[in-house]
Structures are given as structure tokens and as C-alpha cells.
């Protein structure tokens, strides 16, 4: 009887030891004494279905007014107060927007800076020395899986790194698989999948280190979490009770 109890305790101990995570599985950017990595910063490009806030200014306010026809939105659900907001243009499936007076303007495939110069050139026919401001309205990324706060996040600028996104989601939980972060990106109508190993310094050289609009980041659960999902939600309680029973039996059989 005592031998069986001893064997059972050994099995429980072995399971506990093997379930523990190692430093290699948890720590980010290992084997790196000093950061010397260099890479080209990713600059997002405008894509079909993007929404752009475009404001055109000039010394002659009246000349710029036709391009800045402000719409209004209701500020609260409980009153009729209305507030203006910047004109928003949706890039159509052909990559164009339609500007007042100017007509169709091709913006898909351009960076924000390039779009500003393109619009400025078109508007210059109607406005002397115009100022143009273009901002993404729907620069959104999603972080799913084993993170503290999964969800979709609106980014106020077009520059966000993978680490920034994970930080916005509260970082990985201890159950997240750090060596296999998946980033799904759509480019020219084609979905591409990238894998990033956060435990290696190679993550800093990944082509998805800088995220693009509408990227999806997925954190896979580690093997221990997958195995645990096969148990009932109260498996920890049963293990604790089993430990108490074993201790009592051990005392009684002495």
C-alpha cells in the first residue's frame, strides 16, 4: 500500500515539475547583450476601404471652404447637440476618393505623405498655396488569444510596433506561447501569415515588427494550457482534494 502511494506521489511530482515553464520559454529577446539591430521602418500605405480625414487650408479661407464642407454628428444619445467633424473620405475598391471640384483622385498604394502631395497638386488649381492634412481614421489592429485584454484597438498614428500592440492588450499571459506569435496581414487582396518568435532577437528584424492597418495579432496558448483545457473547470479542486486524501492515507498506514 505504501509503495503504491509513494508511486502515485512521484507521478504527481513529475507532472508538476514538467508543467513548470522554463526561462527559455518565457523571457523575451534572449541571447542579446546589446541592441545593434537596424531595420527600415515600415510606412503604411493607403488601401481600398481605408477612411481618411482630409482637411485643406489656405490664406483665402473662402477658396478652401468647398473642400471642407463639415458634416455634423450627434454628441450624445440623450440630446440634440451636434458637433462638426473633419470631412472623411472612404477609398473605393479602385483605390480612389472623390474630392469636391477636383473629382476622382487615386490614393491607394501611397503613403500618407505621398497622398498629401498628390492632393496638394490637384487642389492647387483652385486654391493658392494650399495646406493639406491627411490622417487615417480607421487605423485599427486586433490582438487575440492569450493576452490580458484581447480586442481591437484604434491607433491614433500610423506607426505602431508589434510590441506596442501587445502592450495595449496588456501583454501576453503566462499561458501564451511566446515563440510563435502569428500576424495576419492583407496586402493587395491577399492574406499573408507571419510567425514571430519573441524569445529571439530576430523578432526585431521581422517584416511585421511594424504593424499595418487591419493587422491581426494572435497569441497561441502553450501546450500546458491546451492540455489543461481537456480537464473540467474544477480540476484544480480535485487535485487538491486528492492531495489531502493521499496525505491522510499516508498517515493512517504508517
Q: Tell me whether residue 102 is in a domain.
A: yes
Which CATH number characterizes residue 88's domain? Answer: 3.30.1950.10
Q: Both 148 and 166 in a single domain? A: yes
Q: Both 104 and 217 in a single domain? A: no
Q: How far apart are CA 78 and CA 73, in angstroms?
A: 13
Q: How far apart are CA 203 and CA 168, in angstroms?
A: 18
pLDDT at position 138:
84
Q: How far apart are CA 115 and CA 136, in angstroms?
A: 11
Q: Tell me whether residue 18 is in a domain.
A: no
- Does 121 score more than 90 pLDDT? yes
Most confident of 6-10, 40-44, 222-226: 40-44
Q: Both 170 and 219 in a single domain? A: yes
Q: Both 114 and 172 in a single domain? A: no
Q: Both 67 and 132 in a single domain? A: yes
Q: Both 203 and 233 in a single domain? A: no
* Strands 103-106 and 96-99, bridge-based pairing: antiparallel
pLDDT at position 79:
42
Domain containing 37 equals 23-42+139-226
- Kindly report, residue by residue over 136-188, the tens digit of the pLDDT: 988 899 999 999 999 999 987 778 999 999 999 999 999 999 999 999 998 77
Report which of 200, 53, 24 is spatially closest to residue 133, judged by C-alpha positions: 53
Contacts of residue 51, defined as CB under 8 A and 6 or more positions apart, other chains included, come to: 88, 89, 90, 91, 136, 137, 138
Q: Tell me whether residue 208 is in a domain.
A: yes
Over range 223-238, report the average pLDDT. 55
For residue 28, what is its C-alpha cell?
523575451
Domain boundary residue, one of 136, 153, 178: 136
Which CATH number characterizes residue 169's domain? Answer: 3.10.560.10
Q: Both 219 and 240 in a single domain? A: no
DSSP at 125: T
Lowest mean pLDDT among 23-27, 106-110, 143-147, 195-199: 23-27
Q: Both 204 and 85 in a single domain? A: no
Domain boundary residue, one of 80, 106, 136: 136
DSSP at 203: G
Q: Both 218 and 247 in a single domain? A: no
pTM, rounded to two decimals: 0.63
- Kindly report, residue by residue over 177-219, the tens digit of the pLDDT: 999 999 999 877 789 999 999 988 888 889 999 999 899 999 9
Domain boundary residue, one of 136, 158, 187: 136
CB atoms within 10 A of CB 224: 16
Q: Tell me whether residue 130 is in a domain.
A: yes
Total count of domains within the chain: 3
- The answer to whether the CB of 249 falls within 8 A of the CB of 5 is yes
Q: Both 164 and 218 in a single domain? A: yes
Q: Both 163 and 37 in a single domain? A: yes
Amino acid at each position: 500500500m505504501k509503495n503504491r502511494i509513494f508511486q502515485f506521489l512521484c507521478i504527481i511530482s513529475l507532472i508538476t515539475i514538467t508543467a513548470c515553464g522554463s526561462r527559455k520559454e518565457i523571457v523575451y529577446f534572449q541571447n542579446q547583450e546589446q541592441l545593434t539591430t537596424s531595420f527600415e521602418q515600415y510606412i503604411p500605405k493607403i488601401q481600398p476601404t481605408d477612411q481618411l480625414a482630409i482637411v485643406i487650408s489656405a490664406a483665402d479661407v473662402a477658396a478652401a471652404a468647398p473642400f471642407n464642407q463639415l458634416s455634423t454628428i450627434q454628441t450624445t444619445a440623450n440630446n440634440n447637440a451636434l458637433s462638426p467633424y473633419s470631412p472623411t473620405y472612404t477609398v473605393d475598391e479602385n483605390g480612389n476618393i472623390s474630392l469636391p471640384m477636383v473629382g476622382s483622385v487615386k490614393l491607394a498604394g501611397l503613403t500618407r505623405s505621398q497622398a498629401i502631395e498628390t492632393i496638394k497638386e490637384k487642389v492647387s488649381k483652385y486654391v493658392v498655396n494650399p495646406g493639406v492634412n491627411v490622417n487615417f481614421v480607421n487605423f485599427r489592429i486586433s490582438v487575440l488569444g492569450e493576452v490580458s485584454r484581447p480586442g481591437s484597438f484604434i491607433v491614433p498614428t500610423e506607426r505602431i510596433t508589434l510590441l506596442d500592440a501587445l502592450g495595449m492588450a496588456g501583454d501576453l499571459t503566462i499561458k501564451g506561447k511566446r515563440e510563435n506569435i502569428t500576424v495576419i496581414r492583407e496586402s493587395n487582396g491577399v492574406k499573408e501569415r507571419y510567425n514571430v518568435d519573441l524569445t529571439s532577437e530576430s523578432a526585431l528584424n521581422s517584416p511585421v515588427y511594424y504593424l499595418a492597418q487591419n493587422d491581426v495579432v494572435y497569441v497561441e496558448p502553450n501546450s500546458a494550457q491546451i492540455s489543461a483545457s481537456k480537464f473540467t473547470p474544477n480540476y484544480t479542486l480535485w487535485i487538491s482534494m486528492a492531495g489531502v486524501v493521499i496525505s491522510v492515507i499516508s498517515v493512517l498506514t504508517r
